Structure 1
Amino acid sequence: MENKDSSRRKEGGDDFSPNISIRKLRRYNVIVIACSTTGQGEMPLNARGFWASIRSSQLKVRNASSITDESNTTDSELAEWRPDDATPNTGFLKSVYFTTFGLGDSSYPKYNHAAIKLHNRFVRLGANPICDRGEGDEQHPDGLYGTFPLWSRHFEEDLLRLFPLENGREPLAEEDVPFRPKWRLVPEEQTDDSDDSRTATPTLNGAGAHSFYGSEQCMPPLANGDDGPAGSAVPLNDSVWMRNTQRATLLEHNRVTPVQHNQDVRLLKFRVDDTIEYSPGATMTIYPKNLSGDVNAFMDLMDWRSIADRRLQFASQDPAPRSRAYLPPPLQQLAGPDGSVHPGWFTLRSLLTSHLDFMSIPRRSFFATAAYFTDNEDEKAKLRTFGLSTDVDDLQDYYDYTTRPRRTIFEVMEDFRSLHVPWQYITSLIPFIRGRQFSIASGGQLKHEPSGATLFDLIVAIVDSPSVILKDKEGKPKRRYGVCTKYVTTLAPGSSLAVKIDRGFLHVPKRGALTTGTPNSAVTIARDPDLKPAVLMVGTGTGIAPLRSLIHERLALRTNMTCALQSDILFFGCRKEDADYYFKDEWKTLAVEQGLAVFPAFSAEDNLKKTYVQHLIVQQADLVFRTLHDEGGWVFVCGSSGNMPKGVRAALVEVFETRDGWDLEKAEAFVKALEQDQRYKQETW
């Protein structure tokens, strides 16, 4: 809307963040909230302070004529709230218009719960909805973006009805919207525009080139002889350093699946010198880099070699910039390896290596922006169709061209040869690389060395599958690499990199009584104050990582016990026992020595019927019922999203439905009670 009415200045915008003061909310006429859901229907970490502030009982709410039936939920914040239009609105946010778009995954029981709660709370505080809230779904063929175009069109139409343009003006047609980059790159010596404070030169603090961008060297091959993907030259010990990160050293790097197996999976062991406490479910964020072979090829395509190593700085196009050192927000977290302030200058090579994700699948916004950089009318029309059209057939064409074959930005630039993008505006076209999170597989006594240093195990599946659509010059399927896992394959023991640790949430209470059963037949169980209740764990593939952490954490709490894990159950799903049965020997030892009940399911074992974890859950119905109903156990489901979590839940319902005196309604009520009581935790991706 800002672009379509050039006479209006956007209110707020870039300075709005989840940490904004509650009092400042009323300064905005229109607020659009995009919010993800984490954990078990929880707010993302960076929104929890904001959520706490708008839940304050000191804030005045509006009157209501009715609240929808809340009997099916223990969280009243999820109930739709209907304002009483006949009563004056006296709510704290009565002057604000707003809408929300949730970023969720429908394979989770609490799909988009955080966005729902935010939306309902804003309504209760008197804010006026512009349109229905939108719901993005990771399970959509086009991911979270799949439902966004239609929702955004409705939002725009409703917003124009509420705020018509002055003097009968009409919004600009898409092809007439001017290009308005927020940032541009300029040579370092040209940032001193004395008559324009927008391009003021950031202080370099005396930092030299070697402090932040080292020379490129090739990593030595891995110990098992796997050299990684072609073009794997990367800067040695030249991590992307961020604020609030830890320096981690890679101790071990081994492939754990056979070379002939279709999936390359690596086990990595890291050490951080500081003592860090973390819980099961914790994640390590790695900040990847593009490999030098890809960077050089992209610069050749764009004809940027002559400017590749020249110092550049960002100049803000905002007439009143507020960001630190005039850097785009994703770069404001950068720091030196010793925690020093980033100097504020870059080169095209460093940006393409460490910060710009030109090997990612392009979003529709990429095509809409790219259309500004071609004079070829046919290609311009095609780019605008991919980027702007909300026609169903056009959206399918976009999906078939990008998402389905996993075509990269680099490959799109090769296809649209008329595109001539000035390097000054490259950050307006190519998205920034984001850190990738990996579940930590270590726990208990595996977490620390005697010196106090902290250890982390990661089990990482390398994304390098062949495309079923794209072919190379020889007619062979092109391999599709993940930016981060491609980078991971090049890391050799001794490598040092910046990582971020998020603590984890897969835990169960130690003390107190537990109420179990259905709402109509509750049973109270007294727990031993020194033990946690039984757990039923279901993991597939690399989803075993947080469950391994949980198992070792529980084992460490019970070091004085014989058969310390005898109440715990692990259902693990993979393809073949000799290929991807991760930590197989470890599970056998824990089963014999500590009583862990382990049930592996193999879906592609030669000469055996396909077996999935949900099949084994039904086969072990007596054990499952006793663990969850009689002993008040907890359920943890980890692995790939999609059909697996839904199948596991259906299997649990079937277990209870087949018990004497139970029916489908009672079984469903019991499983739902597990979810509402936070005894059913799911972490899938």
Structure 2
Amino acid sequence: MSRKLLILYGSETGTAQDFAEQVWRESKRFYFTGPVLPMDSYDVRNLVDEELVVFICSTTGQGEEPENMRTFWKFLLRKKLPSDSLHNVKFALLGFGDSGYVKYNFVAKKLHKRLLQLGGIALMEVGLCDDQHDLGPSATYLPWLEQLWEKILTIYPLPSEQKPLEESPREMRWLVEAIDEDKENNSSVRRETENIYATSQSLLNTKNPTVRLVLEENRRITHEQHFQDVRFISFKMNNPIAWQPGDVLVLRPCNGDDSVRELFSLFQQHNLPLHPETIVEIREIDSEMPVPDFLKAPISLRSLATQYWDLNAIPRPRAFALLAKNCLNELEREKLQEFSSPAGQEDLYSYANRPRRTIVEVLQDFPHATSRITLEILMEVFQPIKPRSFSIASCPEVGRLQLLVAVVEYRSILSTPRKGLCSTWLKNLPVGSKIVGWLKKGTLKIPPDASKPLVMVGPGTGLAPFRSVLLQKEAKFVDDAAPKSVLFFGCRNRQGDFHCEEELKRMEGIGLLKVITAFSRDQEEKIYVQHRIRENGELLRSLLINQDGVFFVAGSSKNMPQSV
């Protein structure tokens, strides 16, 4: 009986890919062979010949599939496909989503439904992981994985003389070793100032337009006494590129110099031969887990620590299992094993998730385990830096690509403030910095019919996509030629965080729109945008019903949209 298992994923930020690779590693305990691939890297025409497939996918935006599964998905949607075309395919499916969105795990649900329509045999109910859960995706993933192997081993049992391995023989994805290279004389070693993704087709996502940016302006737009730093960031573009209001700029941030120094200082404390200038070579063990193209050239540990490893990430259970492997201290090893076990997830939540403890802080807390760490374990316990998406706050007519970015900084029970990796990186970028990003279509679909009035609800930095819309309307505005749109803008107080106030007043002054504000802290009773919406019911009825207007909400994905 064949023991081939195909694992396919659709991943936008890397989370679904990480979990797909975990399933792949686990499969080796049960002697399965087969690759783990993005759906679009697999020839979907061969799916009819597969016997056993695990699908793992995330949902992005408002129910959209990740970029690296769209070709695969479009093929499955073909009407001419026979209803029994996948009758030989047994499958399981795990989805990742955020229950704060209306179309929660929409991609996983519709993929599951379509596979059944084509005759596929579901081994189990679709698993739906929720980012909002206290324990994160692991709350669903761990029991789902346990059930998966129960189902698969019922159909594909091991021979009586074979037992499942205690641990996967492929705990490490790749071979990693330090090499003795003279950087001055070896052109294959990248310069440490080089962007490791700059020429990577897979990481820069060439299905979407790549854009090279030069930072022109980076200033705080909230009052100095306001609790939050919100930045107005403006880029010049080295290559001409077009976008539509509502589109998104995707950036991959870097770790700050202080964080990188802290990591290497920790290595030094334990006398580990891991220095910033150490050059490493990463090689594949077999074709089932290829090395990404951007990691194929020899690379310094400083470049990895700056551009690839997310030093701010909260470690997943597997990181604790790997740290336990070589740990000689019994107390540390037992605690690490507990955190990696299904029974220890509540304790792990209290230790890591609730206080937002980073992987570097975990290494500091477990000195015996850290003193025995290897290069290969480092490549596994550090998660890759994930790209971040920002609604573009300008239109092409402005000639600049602009963002409104709220700098994330808050306190937990830990003494050191928690900081957002990308927003802090953007805050500290000096004018003149050159960065690379890419554009993708947003979920805000502005109607092509300019006669339709727009009702926009954009508290805080949720204003960004509407600023793009309004700037474009202003550039084409002719007095009395367009209906008046309405913007509901909410913030804490007029003096502290009324973003783009002068621009909005200018647009209101020429008759482009009506601005209705809600300053929640400027009076004793808190007032939010939903209160202003209720107060203006007659106006909204006129715009939305009588004039066939369109209603948009942008901002927090938690309570605000439901309240509105």
User: What SS is found at the alignment partner of 1:402?
Assistant: helix
* 1:535 aligns to 2:454 (yes or no): yes
How far is the alpha carbon of 1:373 from its aligned partner? Answer: 2.9
Between the aligned partners of 1:361 and 1:592, the Cα distance in structure 2 is 48
RMSD between aligned residues: 2.5
Give the structure 2 partner of residue 638 of structure 1. 554
CA contact (8 A) 2:51 2:90 kept: yes
Give the structure 1 partner of residue 116 of structure 2. 123
Between the aligned partners of 2:374 and 2:330, the Cα distance in structure 1 is 19
Give the structure 1 partner of residue 542 of structure 2. 626
CA contact (8 A) 1:181 1:317 kept: no
Compared CA separation, residues 382 and 127, structure 1 to 2 (3 A): same
Give the structure 1 partner of residue 267 of structure 2. 302
**Aligned match for 1:613, one of 529, 553, 563:** 529
Give the structure 1 partner of residue 89 of structure 2. 96
How far is the alpha carbon of 1:23 from its aligned partner? Answer: 1.7
* 1:422 aligns to 2:374 (yes or no): yes
User: What SS is found at the alignment partner of 1:276?
Assistant: coil
How far is the alpha carbon of 1:165 from its aligned partner? Answer: 2.0
Compared CA separation, residues 177 and 273, structure 1 to 2 (3 A): closer
Compared CA separation, residues 442 and 8, structure 1 to 2 (3 A): same
The letter of the residue matching 1:430 is F
Give the structure 2 partner of residue 221 of structure 1. none
Number of aligned residue pairs: give it: 527
* 1:241 aligns to 2:241 (yes or no): no
CA contact (8 A) 2:453 2:484 kept: yes
1:461-610 alignment runs, 5 A limit: 461-467=406-412, 469-471=413-415, 478-511=416-449, 531-556=450-475, 558-559=476-477, 561-563=478-480, 566-605=483-522, 607-610=523-526
Give the structure 2 partner of residue 354 of structure 1. 307
Give the structure 2 partner of residue 194 of structure 1. none
How far is the alpha carbon of 1:40 from its aligned partner? Answer: 3.2
Between the aligned partners of 1:164 and 1:263, the Cα distance in structure 2 is 57
How far is the alpha carbon of 1:489 from its aligned partner? Answer: 2.2
1:358-369 alignment runs, 5 A limit: 358-369=311-322
Identity of aligned residues (%): 33
CA contact (8 A) 2:452 2:483 kept: no
The letter of the residue matching 1:241 is A
Which one has a bigger Cα radius of gyration? 1
Compared CA separation, residues 364 and 565, structure 1 to 2 (3 A): farther
How far is the alpha carbon of 1:284 from its aligned partner? Answer: 1.4
* 1:259 aligns to 2:224 (yes or no): yes
CA contact (8 A) 2:59 2:108 kept: yes
How far is the alpha carbon of 1:554 from its aligned partner? Answer: 3.0
How far is the alpha carbon of 1:238 from its aligned partner? Answer: 6.0
Give the structure 1 partner of residue 20 of structure 2. none
Q: Residue by residue, what CA displacement relative to the aligned partner does 1:613-644 show, whole Å, maximum 9, x if unpaired?
A: 11111111111112222211111111011110
User: What SS is found at the alignment partner of 1:604?
Assistant: coil
Between the aligned partners of 1:415 and 1:608, the Cα distance in structure 2 is 45
* 1:460 aligns to 2:405 (yes or no): yes
Q: Residue by residue, what CA displacement relative to the aligned partner does 1:37-61 show, whole Å, maximum 9, x if unpaired?
A: 2343222222221111011223211
Give the structure 1 partner of residue 187 of structure 2. 207
Give the structure 2 partner of residue 337 of structure 1. none
Compared CA separation, residues 300 and 138, structure 1 to 2 (3 A): same
CA contact (8 A) 2:393 2:468 kept: yes
CA contact (8 A) 1:282 1:501 kept: yes
Give the structure 1 partner of residue 360 of structure 2. 410
The letter of the residue matching 1:257 is T
The letter of the residue matching 1:155 is L
Give the structure 2 partner of residue 32 of structure 1. 54
CA contact (8 A) 1:239 1:497 kept: no
Between the aligned partners of 1:502 and 1:5, the Cα distance in structure 2 is 34
Between the aligned partners of 2:346 and 2:296, the Cα distance in structure 1 is 44
* 1:440 aligns to 2:384 (yes or no): no
User: What SS is found at the alignment partner of 2:471?
Assistant: helix
User: What SS is found at the alignment partner of 1:12?
Assistant: coil
Between the aligned partners of 1:627 and 1:277, the Cα distance in structure 2 is 30
Between the aligned partners of 1:386 and 1:147, the Cα distance in structure 2 is 16
**Aligned match for 2:331, one of 378, 392, 397:** 378
User: What SS is found at the alignment partner of 1:167?
Assistant: coil
Question: What TM-score, normalized to structure 1?
Answer: 0.72
User: What SS is found at the alignment partner of 2:94?
Assistant: strand
1:216-227 alignment runs, 5 A limit: none
Q: Residue by residue, what CA displacement relative to the aligned partner does 1:495-537 show, whole Å, maximum 9, x if unpaired?
A: 11111122434233335xxxxxxxxxxxxxxxxxxx2411111
Between the aligned partners of 1:292 and 1:163, the Cα distance in structure 2 is 51
**Aligned match for 2:285, one of 300, 312, 317:** 317
CA contact (8 A) 1:99 1:130 kept: yes
Compared CA separation, residues 543 and 6, structure 1 to 2 (3 A): closer
How far is the alpha carbon of 1:444 from its aligned partner? Answer: 5.4
User: What SS is found at the alignment partner of 1:18?
Assistant: helix
Compared CA separation, residues 644 and 500, structure 1 to 2 (3 A): same
Between the aligned partners of 2:246 and 2:138, the Cα distance in structure 1 is 27
368-377 vs 396-405, greater mean Cα deviation: 368-377
Between the aligned partners of 1:409 and 1:535, the Cα distance in structure 2 is 45
Compared CA separation, residues 168 and 563, structure 1 to 2 (3 A): farther
Between the aligned partners of 2:323 and 2:481, the Cα distance in structure 1 is 60
* 1:160 aligns to 2:153 (yes or no): yes
Give the structure 2 partner of residue 41 of structure 1. 63
How far is the alpha carbon of 1:579 from its aligned partner? Answer: 1.0
Runs of 5+ unmatched residues, structure 1? 62-90, 191-203, 215-236, 335-341, 449-454, 472-477, 512-530, 649-685
Give the structure 2 partner of residue 227 of structure 1. none
Q: Residue by residue, what CA displacement relative to the aligned partner does 1:192-243 show, whole Å, maximum 9, x if unpaired?
A: xxxxxxxxxxxx997365x6323xxxxxxxxxxxxxxxxxxxxxx8685253
Between the aligned partners of 1:425 and 1:241, the Cα distance in structure 2 is 26
Compared CA separation, residues 357 and 387, structure 1 to 2 (3 A): same
Give the structure 1 partner of residue 241 of structure 2. 276
* 1:138 aligns to 2:131 (yes or no): yes
